[in-house]
């Protein structure tokens, strides 16, 4: 092990934090060691070797992470093998499909759990086990505020879904099936049959949804080992990756390779460009802004447009394309995409990664085994992959749209607003045969932003009215302050900021107003006179918030979508100084 083993690195590598607990004589040391020994841990594990925390989001309420006990055991093997002392600990888990009102409401809470759990305990390095959407940003945000050597291990995507003769993708096919049932093209019995066919192995969503996007972001930003993004959860090589991560984190402690030595402006730029190349989720915008905020790296909403604008989408994966993460892995996975970007000068090749290599060294020999799955920059899958940032009087602080998932002919559109005041109003009204709506209208949904829902829900891709689906309409312009599942698609303007519940202009839109969307000009305009808007503003009242509890704290401190929705008091980090004794 490299730690303090050479004269010349003695100064640069600080002493192990764990020594302050386990290396003590007298009563303090007795306390710290004795109770740990009730787990059958032998004396030699307290001899000053690095203590590695395995931060586990395992939960049966988070099905995407329900295999993480095995993954943690594989990390432990690697840690022991490298001479470390692994200690697994639980943190709040966030199950996307189960938690209400939304997991996003609890992302920051989980990040606080992670941050304080790391700082309060005798840990020298950390392995973060992440999978389902919010578990990745929550753990990385918390760990970044502590800044210990840290490595991310994603749980991996599920195997391809298969329904009869068709590959089906998590989430993406739920929207398709729901529309098919509404149109009368699918029976309820078939709909039910498809449930088990979609989710047929352990792992997270296997489309290029938010979980796969964030796993890819971790690889691109340098916090995870090569191939972290795509190895299926059920593939034995996922366990191998966890084992190697366990070995590597012990070395990282020896090298004092902290998160702050990996996360910087260059690594974030690499991640933003990669998101364009994979046709990644719009949720990555919010999460990377929040992670950057914890590190001090300067990244803002406009960087997403400026950096990603010309990045073509190379990856033919649902929801933008037809393949799934299992196919992506067999075709070579993210290293192929990173190589392609690096060779075109679209990546900072010298950005450092957790295995000690630069990103270029990691990917320079990557080979593609499926060109229909991973395209080249010369012949991209879609010409525009990046996320566009829109502004205008309807979104003074910005809104986003994902062109690769949208309909080209709707990217410039003027239409009459049909307004839903909140999600209940939408549900009650959308399929009313008397609703005055046609395919040229713009559907507007309010009060689904960070404060509004509360928790910034993924309802922005609201299903179209049944009567229009039956007519064969497949897409319409939709605008909201909500997010959209990374598995979803459509000409959907999201994250409109400030949100309606914070008094943003979206709150003022009424049925019949004309709205103009011009993605090429990055414009989102509400065609209503300023005097009329001022009159409507005077009539607006903010929504009620409870008197107590987490919701109250959340509402008081959550920031808007354009800055990542972190709590204002969590931005930045406090490092991991050893706290004082409790006795
Ligand atoms: Fe967990 Fe999609 S529901 S990753």
Residue 96 CA, ligand 1 centroid: distance in Å: 6
Measured by CA distance, the residue closest to atom 1 of ligand 1 is: 132
State whether the beta carbon of 251 lies less than 6 angstroms from ligand 1. no
Candidate from 66, 68, 98, 132 with most ligand 1 atoms within 8 A of CB, to mutate: 132
Task: For residues 266-288, give the mean pLDDT.
Answer: 96
Give the pLDDT of residue 510: 98
State whether the beta carbon of 326 lies less than 6 angstroms from ligand 1. no
| Contacts of 132 by beta carbon, 8 Å cutoff, 6+ apart | 57, 62, 63, 64, 65, 93, 94, 95, 96, 103, 155, 204, 211
Task: For residues 50-62, give the mean pLDDT.
Answer: 98
Asked whether the predicted pLDDT for residue 6 surpasses 60, the reply is no
Asked whether the predicted pLDDT for residue 58 surpasses 90, the reply is yes
Task: For residues 388-412, give the mean pLDDT.
Answer: 94
Over residues 84-127, the pLDDT tens digits come to 999 999 999 999 999 999 999 999 999 999 999 999 999 999 99
Measured by CA distance, the residue closest to atom 2 of ligand 1 is: 205
User: Residues in the chain, how many?
Assistant: 583
Task: For residues 352-365, give the mean pLDDT.
Answer: 98
CA dist 550 and 556 (Å) reads 10
Q: What percent of the chain has pLDDT over 90?
A: 91
Specify the ligand 1 atom closest to the Cα of 209: 2
Asked whether the predicted pLDDT for residue 5 surpasses 60, the reply is no
State whether the beta carbon of 259 lies less than 6 angstroms from ligand 1. no
Give the pLDDT of residue 13: 85
Specify the ligand 1 atom closest to the Cα of 204: 4
Over residues 190-206, the pLDDT tens digits come to 999 999 999 999 999 99
Task: For residues 564-579, give the mean pLDDT.
Answer: 96
Specify the ligand 1 atom closest to the Cα of 486: 2
Lowest mean pLDDT: which of 7-11, 27-31, 363-367, 489-493? 7-11
Task: For residues 439-453, give the mean pLDDT.
Answer: 97
Asked whether the predicted pLDDT for residue 373 surpasses 60, the reply is yes
Asked whether the predicted pLDDT for residue 26 surpasses 60, the reply is yes
Cα torsion 349, 315, 134, 167: sign: negative
Candidate from 66, 67, 96 with most ligand 1 atoms within 8 A of CB, to mutate: 96
- Helix (H/G/I), strand (E/B), else coil: 337: helix
Give the pLDDT of residue 2: 44
- Average pLDDT, whole number, for the chain? 95
pLDDT band at 12 (very low <50, low <70, confident <90, very high): confident
Task: For residues 4-21, give the mean pLDDT.
Answer: 73
Over residues 234-272, the pLDDT tens digits come to 999 999 999 999 999 999 999 999 999 999 999 999 999
Asked whether the predicted pLDDT for residue 529 surpasses 70, the reply is yes
Every domain of the chain and the residues it spans: 49-158+208-363, 161-198, 388-546+553-561
Asked whether the predicted pLDDT for residue 311 surpasses 50, the reply is yes
Asked whether the predicted pLDDT for residue 8 surpasses 60, the reply is no
- Residue 373, CB half-sphere, CA atoms under 13 Å: how many? 20
Residue 99 CA, ligand 1 centroid: distance in Å: 11
Measured by CA distance, the residue closest to atom 3 of ligand 1 is: 96
Q: What percent of the chain has pLDDT over 70?
A: 98
CA dist 497 and 483 (Å) reads 12
Give the pLDDT of residue 7: 47
Give the pLDDT of residue 4: 47
- Identify the H or E element spanning 198: helix 188-198
State whether the beta carbon of 211 lies less than 6 angstroms from ligand 1. yes
CA dist 112 and 143 (Å) reads 9
CA dist 434 and 149 (Å) reads 60
Give the pLDDT of residue 438: 97
Q: What does DSSP assign to residue 352?
A: B
Whether the Cβ atoms of residue 1 and residue 82 lie closer than 8 Å to each other? yes
Q: Please tell me the CATH superfamily of domain 49-158+208-363, with its number.
A: Response regulator (3.40.50.2300)
Give the pLDDT of residue 310: 85
Specify the ligand 1 atom closest to the Cα of 131: 4
Task: For residues 412-418, give the mean pLDDT.
Answer: 98
Q: State which fold the 388-546+553-561 domain adopts.
A: Glucose Oxidase; domain 1 (3.50.30)
State whether the beta carbon of 239 lies less than 6 angstroms from ligand 1. no
Report pTM: 0.96
């Amino acid at each position: 092990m490299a730690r303090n083993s050479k004269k010349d690195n003695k100064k640069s590598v600080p002493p192990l934090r764990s020594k302050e607990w386990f290396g003590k004589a007298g009563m303090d040391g007795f306390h710290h060691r004795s109770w740990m020994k009730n787990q059958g841990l032998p004396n030699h594990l307290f001899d000053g070797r690095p203590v590695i925390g395995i931060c586990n989001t395992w939960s049966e309420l988070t099905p995407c992470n329900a295999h993480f006990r095995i993954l943690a055991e594989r990390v432990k093997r690697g840690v022991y093998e490298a001479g470390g002392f692994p200690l697994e600990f639980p943190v709040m888990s966030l199950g996307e499909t189960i938690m209400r009102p939304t997991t996003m409401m609890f992302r920051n809470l989980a990040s606080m759990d992670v941050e304080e759990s790391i700082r309060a305990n005798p840990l020298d390095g950390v392995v973060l086990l992440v999978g389902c959407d919010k578990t990745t940003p929550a753990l990385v945000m918390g760990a970044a505020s502590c800044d210990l050597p840290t490595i991310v291990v994603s749980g991996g995507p599920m195997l391809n879904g298969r329904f009869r003769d068709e590959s089906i993708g998590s989430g993406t096919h739920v929207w398709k099936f729901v529309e098919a049932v509404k149109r009368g093209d699918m029976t309820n019995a078939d709909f039910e049959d498809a449930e088990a066919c979609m989710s047929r192995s352990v792992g997270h969503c296997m489309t290029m949804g938010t979980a796969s996007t964030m796993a890819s972001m971790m690889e691109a930003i340098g916090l995870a080992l090569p191939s972290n993004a795509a190895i299926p959860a059920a593939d034995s090589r996922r366990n191998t990756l966890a084992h190697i991560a366990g070995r590597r984190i012990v070395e990282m402690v020896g090298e004092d390779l902290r998160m702050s030595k990996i996360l910087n402006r260059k690594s974030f730029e690499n991640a933003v460009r990669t998101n364009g190349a994979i046709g990644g989720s719009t949720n990555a915008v919010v999460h990377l802004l929040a992670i950057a905020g914890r590190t001090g790296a300067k990244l803002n909403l406009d960087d997403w447009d400026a950096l990603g604008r010309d990045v073509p989408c190379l990856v033919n994966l649902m929801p933008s394309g037809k393949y799934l993460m299992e196919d992506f892995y067999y075709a070579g996975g993210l290293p192929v995409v990173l190589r392609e970007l690096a060779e075109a000068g679209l990546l900072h090749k010298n950005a450092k990664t957790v295995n000690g290599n630069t990103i270029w060294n990691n990917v320079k020999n990557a080979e593609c085994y499926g060109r229909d799955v991973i395209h080249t920059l010369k012949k991209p899958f879609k010409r525009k992959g990046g996320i566009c940032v829109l502004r205008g009087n309807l979104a003074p602080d910005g809104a986003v749209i994902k062109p690769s998932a949208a309909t080209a002919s709707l990217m410039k559109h003027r239409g009459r607003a049909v307004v839903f005041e909140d999600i209940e109003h939408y549900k009650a009204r959308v399929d009313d045969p008397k609703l005055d709506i046609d395919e040229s209208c713009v559907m507007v949904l309010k009060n689904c932003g960070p404060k509004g829902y509360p928790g910034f829900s993924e309802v922005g891709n609201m299903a179209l009215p049944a009567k229009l689906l039956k007519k064969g309409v497949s897409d319409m312009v939709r605008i909201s302050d909500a997010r959209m599942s990374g598995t979803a698609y459509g000409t959907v303007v999201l994250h409109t900021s400030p949100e309606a519940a914070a008094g943003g202009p979206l709150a003022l839109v009424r049925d019949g107003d004309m709205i103009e969307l011009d993605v090429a000009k990055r414009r989102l305009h509400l065609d209503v006179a300023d005097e009329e808007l001022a009159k409507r503003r005077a009539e607006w009242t903010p929504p009620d918030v409870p008197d107590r509890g987490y919701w109250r704290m959340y509402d008081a401190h959550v920031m808007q979508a354009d800055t990542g929705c972190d709590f204002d008091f969590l931005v930045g980090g406090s490092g991991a100084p050893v706290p004082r004794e409790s006795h």
